Structure 1
């Protein structure tokens, strides 16, 4: 069985503009964000999707609906929204300035940024460190995050519309795309910066294995 996922990062939101962490919290798409969605919708207008999924956040659902409205093929799937595909939950750091949040997470280890944590300890540790720094410890650690996301992919692959050769639209989030790239990118993808809003990455599921063939609109060799 082979399935190709078209992973699209949602359009720019106000929290993106203001450099705030935005996991389960939400903010509206900006005018640039609406433009992001329209542009990627035009780019993918000729792709026949057998299924379409997003998280249940308004930024992801709105992006998905704009893309689907621009599709010109002979089949229009209904959008399925699952909480499993939400962005990482940042606990009490939701809505906080990103740079300050990652400084707090890395400070006990002598690190000052998300990139430094990734370089010294890996992407998984960014989640564990932020949960430890959260006074309420509500933020998701790595195991909690992947249990939720893996369940989402299991549900998706059980969709009767997702058969061999299917193409699936999946509206995703910045840190989730980095997490997927860390797990399935075969060390070929930079993990320092989130992909652009409205960018397209392609993830293939084949023979029960996942691998990226492009990321952030760039082909992977």
Structure 2
């Protein structure tokens, strides 16, 4: 038997548009995010899933509800975004002037964000624990940008290193409501599609 896992990043929020870091802050979808989710729903309308899961943060929950209207939804805190600690609600422009940010950026994969935040490794490992528990079948899950990429780093050994001009150590971007498809067979994971956002083009 095989698990077919479809990972979706939530739709955009007003904080995304303002360059403000959300993390565990519970921000709602913006108008653009609602439109993105409707477009994804139309794209996935002919596909059936055995289960639908979501982070418990409202921007993810709302995305899942729009993509799979009326379907039962399993909420799991392990699908949450990276906890940015003291940087929650701060803009990228402002955080660049904070010396504690630059200290964290030396190794954000292993160092927790200051002020009670998480490391990216910790995020990847909690999502990995969640994914390993999934039963075989077709599963749709809505999560967050850093969280999905951290999971892929854990599953496939992708590198995590500083990228000039970007606040997270990922050289690969992930669009809002993009689709990333994986499968697990006999304990082995395979990546089939990454950052597919054709419905937005």
Q: Pick closer, same or farther for the CA change 1:140–1:66 going to 2, 3 Å.
A: same
CA distance in 2, matches of 1:194, 1:26: 22
Aligned equivalent of 2:170, options 175, 183, 191: 191
Kept in 1, the 8 Å contact 2:21–2:91? The answer is yes
Kept in 1, the 8 Å contact 2:112–2:120? The answer is no
Structure 1 unaligned segments of length 5 or more: list them. 70-75, 110-116
Q: Pick closer, same or farther for the CA change 1:152–1:186 going to 2, 3 Å.
A: closer
Matches within 5 A, 1:1-221: 1-69=1-69, 77-101=71-95, 104=99, 107-108=102-103, 125-129=107-111, 131=113, 134=114, 136=115, 138-155=116-133, 157=134, 162-163=135-136, 166-185=137-156, 187=158, 191-217=170-196
CA-to-aligned-CA distance 1:150-209 (integer Å, 9 cap, x gap): 332244x1xxxx43xx11110010101221232335659x93253111111102122112
TM-score, structure 2 length as denominator? 0.81
SS at structure 2 position matched to 1:128: coil
CA distance in 2, matches of 1:182, 1:146: 7
CA distance in 2, matches of 1:32, 1:204: 30
Q: C-alpha displacement at 1:26, in angstroms?
A: 2.0
Structure with more helix by fraction: 1
Kept in 2, the 8 Å contact 1:7–1:200? The answer is yes
CA distance in 2, matches of 1:99, 1:215: 28
SS at structure 1 position matched to 2:68: helix
Kept in 1, the 8 Å contact 2:182–2:192? The answer is yes
Structure 2 unaligned segments of length 5 or more: list them. 160-168
CA distance in 2, matches of 1:145, 1:99: 24
Q: C-alpha displacement at 1:108, in angstroms?
A: 4.0
The CA RMSD over aligned residues, in Å, is: 2.7
Q: C-alpha displacement at 1:126, in angstroms?
A: 1.9
Q: Pick closer, same or farther for the CA change 1:187–1:93 going to 2, 3 Å.
A: closer
